[in-house]
Amino acid sequence: MVGTIVLCPGQGAQKVGMARDLAERFPAARHALQALDEALGFPLTATMFDGPEDALLRTDVTQPAILAHSVAVRAVLGDRLGPVQAAMGHSLGEYSAYVVAGVLSPTDAVRLVRKRGELMAAAGDARPGAMSAVLGLDTAAVAAACAASSVAGDLAVAANLNAPDQTVISGDPAAVARAGDACKAAGAKRVMPLKVSGAFHSPLMAPAQAGLAEALAAASFHEPVCPVIANAVAAPVYTSADARRLLVEQLTAPVRFVESAQAAAALVPDARWIEIGPGSVLAGLVKKCVPGAQVTSLGTADDVERFLSA
Instruction: Name the residues annotated as catalytic.
Output: 91, 201
Give ∠ CA 306-268-284 in degrees, rounded to 5: 50
**How far, in Å, CA of 235 to CA of 67, rounded?**
22
- Beta partners for residue 228, in sequence order: 87, 237
**Parallel, antiparallel, or unpaired: how do β-strands 4-8 and 272-276 relate?**
parallel
Which residues on neighbouring strands pair with residue 274, listed in sequence order? 6, 296
Spatial distance between the Cα atoms of 254 and 91, rounded to a whole number of angstroms? 9
5: phi then psi, degrees, rounded to nearest 5: -115, 125
Q: Where are the beta strands (DSSP E) in 111-177?
A: 130-135, 156-163, 166-171
**Nearest of 118, 93, 68, 146 to residue 255 by alpha carbon:** 93
Is the bond preceding 52 in cis, omega lying within 30 degrees of 0? Answer: yes
Would you put residue 300 in left (φ > 0), alpha (ψ -120 to 50) or beta?
beta
**Cα–Cα distance between 67 and 8 in angstroms, integer?**
8
**Cα 264 to Cα 277: distance, rounded to the nearest angstrom:** 19
